[in-house]
């Protein structure tokens, strides 16, 4: 599926087609407004990060000490 035209994406906020070009500084959003709206939704808690791998809390819970390789290679 080759496309001669510039690739377009759908604005996550309003769904309008947005050309994925360097001129579109608000991509994948169609405008600054839509971008702010989406960001606002993020900070509001409407969106949820599917990956619960990175918490960014800094708590030492399930982190291996430095220098210790993970117990993956065991012969026996
Ligand atoms: Zn939009």
Taking Cα atoms as reference points, which of 31, 52, 35 lies closest to residue 43? 35
Average pLDDT of the residues of the chain: 77
Query: What's the pLDDT at 74?
Result: 66
Q: Which two tokens stand for residue 16?
A: 């309008």
Domains of the chain: 1-45 (3.30.50.10)
- Per-residue model confidence as pLDDT tens digits over 15-50: 999 999 999 999 999 999 999 998 887 776 766 666
The rounded Å distance from CA 39 to ligand 1 centre is 12
The whole model's pTM is what?
Answer: 0.49
| Contact in structure between 28 and 18 (CB atoms under 8 Å) | yes
Residue 52 makes CB contacts below 8 A (sequence gap 6+) with none
Helix (H, G, I), strand (E, B) or coil at 33: helix
| CA 27 to chain centroid | 13
What's the CA-to-centroid distance between 69 and ligand 1, angstroms?
A: 46
């Amino acid at each position: 599926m080759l496309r001669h035209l510039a690739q377009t994406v759908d604005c996550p906020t309003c769904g309008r087609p947005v050309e994925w070009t360097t001129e579109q500084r608000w991509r994948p959003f169609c405008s600054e407004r839509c971008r702010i709206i989406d960001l606002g939704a993020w900070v509001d808690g409407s969106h949820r990060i599917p990956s619960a791998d990175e918490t960014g809390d800094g708590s030492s819970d399930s982190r291996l000490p430095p220098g210790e390789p993970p117990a993956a290679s065991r012969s026996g």
